[in-house]
Amino acid sequence: MSSYRVSKLLNILGIESSCDETAASVVQDGNVLSNVVASQLIHQKYGGVVPELAARAHQVTIIPVVTAALEQAGIEKHTLHAIGFTQGPGLLGPLLVGSCFAKSLAFSLGIPLIGVHHIQAHVLGNFIEDPKPSFPFLCLTVSGGHTQILLVKDYFCMDVLGETQDDAVGEAFDKIAKLMGLGYPGGSLIDKYAKGGDPQSFSFPATNMPNFDFSFSGIKTAFSLFIQKKTPQFIEENRADICASIQALLVHMLLNKLVKAAQKTGIHAIALAGGVAVNSHLRHRLKALAEQYGWTLSMPSIDYCTDNAAMVAITAHYKYHIGKFANLSTRCSPRMVM
């Protein structure tokens, strides 16, 4: 008799492979026992993620990463109750590697499979640590592919109040970093070089969209025109000030809409999610706004903001409780909607 049948503790393996991180995590009764992430360095020399190379790298790392997650958790495969995997949105090749692996393992162990929406998982990453947000809350969800203000009514009931009409804010960070020749991934480099810079040094035109929507393509074009007129020496000497100025503007554009959404809805429970949630200026400004407006704020730790499988496993944990399982013919979906 396999021990999971006698165990009262619910063990879930989560697998994330939507982009350039191969990740696996074990969550037991909603507590994270392991969180293993293998980042693919190969994309650095191309200045962005190359989908085909990402899929190949997932194939190489997925078994070692899952093995490490089980070992670190001290969990045997046969004690797992279910496997959650990122079904979409994301890059097709990378999603296929994770989903095929998850299906095969679930099939061989005779346990259920749970498909997870990547952005829902980012949002539910707020439920990994205490204090957990209480419903309803607003979540500023900011990643390389998404920029949204969500009204989160329940674990799986999220309304989009506003979103970007073109580039995601993470994409804007990355493209601006590339224009400055900083390298990839650009968001964290802008954050790093902005430290000590004066955010008032340079001004760029912010795009004001109606309601709670965003637009970041205009600012990227304006930045491109600005940088074309500067010499490499000027960029080098003013790097901190340029980074601080553009970062402050992007963060201001995000938080300006969040404040409006909080005022309009009257909701004072606020959460942050996605890779851009790592940004130190964003976290600092959001904390200051929370104090100013009396918001209850939830911000996952850094490891649970960027792509990780703990957020996938915790989402699968909640889906398990409501019996939302996938079958073996479930397809991954690069443009999956919430």
Residues that bind ligand KG4 (CB under 6 A): 19, 143-145, 170, 173-174, 185-188, 191, 274-276, 278-279, 306-307
Nearer to ligand KG4, 190 or 262 (CB): 190
By CB under 5 A, the residues from 300 to 329 that bind Zn ion are: 307
By the 10 Å C-beta count (0-12 exposed, 13-18 middle, 19+ buried), 266 is classed as exposed
Give the pair of three-digit tokens for residue 231. 């010499």
Instruction: Return the closest-CA partner of residue 219 out of 210, 229, 211, 209.
Output: 209
197 binds, among Zn ion, ligand KG4, none (CB under 5 to 8 A by kind): none
Minimum gap (Å) between residue 286 Cβ and ligand KG4: 13
Minimum gap (Å) between residue 184 Cβ and ligand KG4: 8
Q: CB neighbours of 14 closer than 8 A, spacing ≥ 6?
A: 23, 24, 25, 26, 27, 83, 84, 85, 116, 309, 310, 311, 312, 313, 314, 315, 316
Size of the site for Zn ion (CB under 5 A): 2
Whether residue 300 is preceded by a cis peptide bond, meaning omega within 30 degrees of 0, is no
Nearer to ligand KG4, 79 or 298 (CB): 298
Nearer to Zn ion, 70 or 278 (CB): 278
Nearer to Zn ion, 212 or 304 (CB): 304
Minimum gap (Å) between residue 194 Cβ and Zn ion: 22
173 binds, among ligand KG4, Zn ion, none (CB under 5 to 8 A by kind): ligand KG4
Nearer to ligand KG4, 151 or 282 (CB): 282
Q: CB neighbours of 53 closer than 8 A, spacing ≥ 6?
A: 40, 42, 43, 46
188 binds, among Zn ion, ligand KG4, none (CB under 5 to 8 A by kind): ligand KG4
| Residue, CB closest to ligand KG4 | 275
Minimum gap (Å) between residue 171 Cβ and ligand KG4: 6
Beta strands in 135-290 (DSSP E): 137-142, 147-154, 157-163, 269-273
Nearer to Zn ion, 62 or 244 (CB): 62
162 binds, among ligand KG4, Zn ion, none (CB under 5 to 8 A by kind): none
One of 35, 61, 143, 279 touching Zn ion (CB under 5 A): 143
186 binds, among Zn ion, ligand KG4, none (CB under 5 to 8 A by kind): ligand KG4
Give the pair of three-digit tokens for residue 139. 């979540």
Give the pair of three-digit tokens for residue 192. 């790093």
Nearer to Zn ion, 143 or 247 (CB): 143
- Using only the alpha carbons of the chain, give its radius of gyration: 20
Nearer to Zn ion, 20 or 307 (CB): 307
Cα angle: 175, vertex 181, 186; to 5 degrees: 45
Cα 144 off chain centre by: 8
Q: Work out whether strand 31-39 and strand 147-154 pair parallel, antiparallel, or are unpaired.
A: unpaired
276 binds, among ligand KG4, Zn ion, none (CB under 5 to 8 A by kind): ligand KG4
Minimum gap (Å) between residue 19 Cβ and Zn ion: 7
CB-CB neighbours of 290 under 10 Å: 17
By the rule CB under 5 A, 141 interacts with Zn ion: no
| CA–CA gap between residue 280 and residue 265 (Å, rounded) | 27
In sequence order, the β-bridge partners of residue 32 are 27
| CA–CA gap between residue 100 and residue 186 (Å, rounded) | 31
- Positions in the binding site for Zn ion (CB under 5 A): 143, 307
